[in-house]
Structure 1
């Protein structure tokens, strides 16, 4: 299983969708489409994205910790 870290390559804004896609074994584009469609529904999706952006470590920070 892959650790949940924001990658340095292949990210568009914060790398949250790319990190989730890598973790769940899907493409980043698929995860971005799922996120965009979910934003049409009521709920805190955007706030969750911002929280994950702040809480998930970047890929370099994760490697340095090991």
Structure 2
């Protein structure tokens, strides 16, 4: 099987801040709103999961869709 995968990139169309969650959702075919809600809940509920730091790192490492 030779499956064509979508690129791992920040979304230009589905973004709230930087398009990180929109890009991840598009890559895996998930609902971006649901992913954002889950990410915020996990970030708030777990002191061991630094959500803001993870988001900032992904923002720096993920290219834009157009790049």
Q: TM-score, normalised by structure 2?
A: 0.83
Answer yes or no: is the 8 Å Cα contact 2:21–2:36 preserved in 1.
Answer: yes
* Structure number having the greater helix percentage: 1
Deviation >4 Å, runs of 4+: none
The Cα of 1:35 is off from its aligned counterpart by 0.8
Ranges in structure 2 where 5+ consecutive residues have no aligned partner: none
The Cα of 1:21 is off from its aligned counterpart by 0.6
**Which is greater in Rg?**
2
Q: Number of residues paired by the alignment?
A: 61
Q: 2:40 aligns with which of 36, 48, 51?
A: 36
Please report the RMSD computed on the Cα atoms of aligned residues, expressed in angstroms.
Answer: 0.9
The Cα of 1:14 is off from its aligned counterpart by 0.7
Q: 2:59 aligns with which of 53, 58, 63?
A: 53
Q: 1:26 aligns with which of 13, 23, 30?
A: 30
SS of residue matched to 1:7: coil
Ranges in structure 1 where 5+ consecutive residues have no aligned partner: 62-66
